[in-house]
Chains A and B, each alone.
Chain A
Amino acid sequence: MLNHTVNLWPLLGVAVIIVGFALRAHPVLVVVAACFVTGFAAAMDVPTLLATLGAAFIKTRNLPLILLLPLAAIGLLERYGLKEHAQASIARIKSATTGRLLIVYLAIREVSAAFGLTSIGGHPNMVRPLIAPMAEGAAEVRYPKLPDTLRHRIRAMSAATDNVGLFFGEDVFVAFGAIVLMQTFLLGEGLNVDPLHIALWGIPTAVTAFIIHAWRLHRFDAQIARTMKRMAP
């Protein structure tokens, strides 16, 4: 399909990604292969492509800070029993279940993000040291022989809960980057929209997402109970 106004060749980069992930090739190699294919499709030569990649690599080096900087403190605390402490604390609360705990965390994460406090939570500094061990601990109190498969599902659900809370909370906050991006974009298209309206119209989805995920977490407790029952007749 030849088109004189739009260059469709860069779509090859997307094809590389899809094929690469489908073949379960190493993700890092898939990404670099996609970089090369996209660059060549856009008619870049090798030096230009390397320079483009390099400039982007340096420019985006702020991204890993949020993951790597907290690790020293978290690692040290783990050495001195932070996970064990989190598990022992949750074991003392008799009514705590994995699902209920994660629903409370979802509510805190989403509401605080909606007020712009997105730094409460996060995978390296909250989920790994505190939330996942507590969610696991709450299940372990009821079922001491928790199998690894279930343990892994509980951890994955803890990470998922952090993401859902963050994503559907932050967009309700007026000063969040995404709102600014949307308003700037609309202004460029000749539509003058109050950022507050964009934030407010996010609320129906934010509430829907909370209800759907909380309901899943509620059912998660029943799923854990069913799996354990099947294992130990």
Chain B
Amino acid sequence: MIIRLDYFYYVLGAMLLAIAVMTLRDRHNPKRYSSALFWGLYAVVYLAGEELPPMAAGALMVVMALLAGFGGVALGRHGERTPQERQSSAARLGHKLLLPALAIPFVTMIGSTLLKDVQFDGRFLLDQKNLTLASLGCGSLIAVAIACALTRATPVQALRESRRLVDHLGWAVVLPHMLAVLGLLFSEAGMGKAVAHVVTSYIDMDLKLVAVAVYCLGMALFTIIMGNGFAAFPVIAGGVGVPVLVGVFDANPAVMAAIGMFSAYCGTLMTPMAANFNIVPAALLELPDKNAVIKAQVATAVPVLLANIALLYFLMNL
């Protein structure tokens, strides 16, 4: 492979290291030492990667969590431009400003579709196992290059701006990452079996409607707990879907699977455990209420979930 995902780990590691150094030198940050330590440790995760002994990586994660959890990560000061300055450069640059922003999805799309199979000297251009992420990495770097050319800003300024955004996100940056760790631990500890056991041994599913409702609600509920529909699907489909819906009520497995996964997604819309979809955007949009995005989604998720029960009930025996 010519462009490997590892290269982008190093890029991100270098970016985080630069953020740590800039934070250390920012006298306006009330907690500059602990904040710099936090970003520095995160840089180690990306720069050392698999070289890091697992136990050291685990200890590092715990230290980062304690730093973040006890308010050690604070916001620094950034030389922001005034709204007037921004408005005048917006008027000057016009639609050209959209070019780099749209370059990110555009390059990602081209990379993961058209350039998928491109090879040079028998080597693939893009990391085959991580096609989308490798393409996204290329897109991001190309976008920085175009943006610098367009605005005549230096790459160092781009680094400063990424520090401004990362600073605003703060600990929300690492929450999805740590939740993914918890998800893996949950499945390793046999959480799936425990939940399936509780659901199947305490609810009587002799009625088709009850069985369908338990299946859909179980998917949503288990996703709310795990934060990830992919973790819920095998548990609930294995515990209720296959043995009860297909086994007893003769459901079409394709319908059972499709609507089951969508019921899990309804759960994703309602849980802080799906931090990358729900908590991180709230931080990105600078919302004071970290659950604001979830609150905006509940009124869509609940009706869709109920509709799923009805759809599955009527479509599964067609």
Interface residues of A (CB under 8 A from B): 3, 6-11, 13-14, 17, 21, 26-29, 31-32, 34-35, 38-39, 41-42, 47, 49-85, 88-89, 116-130, 132, 152-153, 155-160, 162-164, 167-168, 171, 177-178, 181-183, 185-186, 189, 191, 193-194, 197-202, 204-206, 208-209, 212-213, 216
Count of A-B contacts judged by CB separation below 8 Å:
434
Known: A65-B133, A186-B253, A205-B308. A156 touches B295 (CB 8 A): yes
- Complex alpha-carbon distance, A74 and B189, angstroms: 40
Q: Residue B237 at the A interface, CB < 8 A?
A: yes
Known: A11-B194, A65-B8. A31 touches B179 (CB 8 A): yes
Binds A, one of B24-32, B51-59, B206-214: B51-59
Contacts of B49 in A (CB 8 A): 58, 61
**Residues 80-113 (chain B) with a chain A CB within 8 angstroms:** 80-81, 83, 86-91, 93-95, 97-98, 100-101, 103-105, 108-109, 112-113
Q: Which of B49, B89, B177 has the most CB of A within 10 A?
A: B177
Q: Return the chain B residue nearest A121 by Cβ.
A: B105
Contacts of B278 in A (CB 8 A): 163
Q: Is the Cβ of A85 less than 8 Å from the Cβ of B258?
A: no
Q: Residue B244 at the A interface, CB < 8 A?
A: no
- Taking the closest CB of chain B, its distance from the CB of A118, in whole angstroms, is 8
Q: Is the Cβ of A56 less than 8 Å from the Cβ of B153?
A: no
- Taking the closest CB of chain B, its distance from the CB of A221, in whole angstroms, is 15
Contacts of B304 in A (CB 8 A): 168, 205, 208-209, 212
| Interface residues contributed by chain B, number (CB under 8 Å) | 149
Contacts of B88 in A (CB 8 A): 81
Q: Return the chain B residue nearest A159 by Cβ.
A: B281
Contacts of A31 in B (CB 8 A): 65, 175, 178-179, 181-182
- Complex alpha-carbon distance, A76 and B266, angstroms: 35
Contacts of A81 in B (CB 8 A): 86-91, 93, 97
Q: Is the Cβ of B225 less than 8 Å from the Cβ of A17?
A: yes
Q: Is the Cβ of A185 less than 8 Å from the Cβ of B233?
A: yes
Q: Is the Cβ of A50 less than 8 Å from the Cβ of B55?
A: yes
Q: Is the Cβ of A197 less than 8 Å from the Cβ of B279?
A: no
- Taking the closest CB of chain B, its distance from the CB of A10, in whole angstroms, is 4
Partner of B293, one of A7, A80, A156, A198: A156
Q: Is the Cβ of A76 less than 8 Å from the Cβ of B161?
A: yes
- Complex alpha-carbon distance, A51 and B188, angstroms: 13
Interface residues of B (CB under 8 A from A): 5, 8-9, 11-12, 15, 45-46, 49-50, 52-62, 65-66, 68-70, 80-81, 83, 86-91, 93-95, 97-98, 100-101, 103-105, 108-109, 112-113, 130, 132-133, 135-137, 139-141, 143-144, 146-148, 150-151, 153, 157-162, 164-166, 171, 173-182, 184-186, 188-191, 193-195, 197-198, 225, 229-230, 233-234, 237-238, 242, 246, 252-255, 257-259, 261-262, 265, 268-269, 272-273, 275-282, 284-290, 292-293, 295-297, 299-300, 303-304, 307-308, 311, 315
Contacts of A53 in B (CB 8 A): 57-58, 61-62, 181, 185
Q: Is the Cβ of A77 less than 8 Å from the Cβ of B112?
A: no
Q: Is the Cβ of A77 less than 8 Å from the Cβ of B97?
A: yes
Known: A72-B144, A117-B109, A123-B277; 12 extra A-B contacts, CB below 8 A, are: A8-B197, A13-B191, A41-B189, A42-B188, A50-B54, A52-B185, A54-B52, A128-B281, A156-B296, A163-B297, A177-B230, A205-B258
- Complex alpha-carbon distance, A80 and B265, angstroms: 37
Q: Return the chain B residue nearest A50 by Cβ.
A: B58
Q: Is the Cβ of A7 less than 8 Å from the Cβ of B86?
A: no
Partner of A7, one of B59, B153, B194: B194
- Taking the closest CB of chain A, its distance from the CB of B317, in whole angstroms, is 13
- Taking the closest CB of chain A, its distance from the CB of B74, in whole angstroms, is 14
- Complex alpha-carbon distance, A198 and B193, angstroms: 25
List 25 contacting pairs A-B, 8 Å CB cutoff, sorted by A.
A6-B193, A7-B193, A8-B197, A13-B185, A13-B189, A14-B191, A17-B225, A26-B69, A32-B178, A50-B54, A52-B58, A53-B61, A73-B101, A77-B101, A79-B151, A79-B157, A85-B94, A125-B104, A127-B285, A153-B292, A156-B282, A160-B296, A167-B262, A208-B304, A216-B300
